[in-house]
Amino acid sequence: MRDELLDAHRTGKLMLFVGSGVSANLDLPDWGALIAHIAEELGYDPKIFSTYGTYLALAEFYKKKKGGLGQLRSWMDREWHKSTTDVSKSEIHRLITQGNFSRIYTTNYDRWLEYAHDAFGVGYDKIASVADLVSVTDGRRQIIKFHGDFDADDSIVLDETSYFQRLDFDTPLDIKLRNDVLGSSVLFIGYSLTDVNIRLLFYRLTEMWGRSPLASARPKSYVFTNRPNPVAQEVLSHWGIEMVVSEEDDPKKALTDFLQDLVT
């Protein structure tokens, strides 16, 4: 593992960004299951419905037909948080809680990061809205729900409208992100390198640093993957983001081994 990455973690200057791949290790429903549920709710064949547009467009269609996302959000909340899931048995979540991360950003809506911190006895402040920003405790870990939280329907970035609004990157959480990244390296885990959401985040981070008078002092940022991708590696290197590639084929074991080496 890179010495710079280990040093950033050791000194508390590594910020974690957690994607859906981390929650997938808990065997939660994937986006395909969500779209299939939307199709059934609206009376469509799931296989045919999935060809009608992107996940964002299909969620937007659902929102227009149902007059909102409240019912869908409630279904997701139930399906993503079944009582049979025991986060205390997730080594990945345990290692995340034990890491030296003062900030953990996540684009996941679910509460498993919070539940993991509760299970392993690690204190935190959850930030999903402006109201949360005023009640944080100095020196306490922050979990920032960057794409919303199941506790607040209007915070969830799921349909096209909310996603396009999110693209503006001018909310209080975006301002917070800009401030946080100026003093830290960023490590992305649980993301697909082909996901436009994460590539947009990569691009925005580069933009944020480019506008700073301290651009030449930008710390390295990293994305972990178990799939080599020379195209992504070349493109991301120009954005100041280094790929950390595991030789382990199984994604769950690859991430577990990586976090073990980083945290312990």
Does 76 lie in the same domain as 194? no
pLDDT in tens for each of the 264 residues of the chain? 578 999 999 999 999 999 989 998 998 888 889 999 999 999 999 999 999 999 889 999 999 999 988 889 899 999 999 999 999 999 999 999 999 999 999 999 999 999 999 999 999 999 988 888 888 888 899 999 998 888 877 788 888 888 888 777 778 888 888 888 877 899 999 988 877 777 777 777 777 767 666 666 678 889 999 888 888 888 888 777 899 999 899 999 999 999 999 998
Residue 218 sits in a domain whose CATH number is 3.40.50.1220
Domain span at residue 56 reads 31-80
Total number of domains constituting the chain: 2
Model confidence, pTM: 0.90
- Assign residue 251 a region (left: φ > 0; alpha: ψ between -120 and 50; beta: otherwise): alpha
Does 218 lie in the same domain as 148? yes
Does 220 lie in the same domain as 183? yes
Does 182 lie in the same domain as 161? yes
Does 143 lie in the same domain as 170? yes
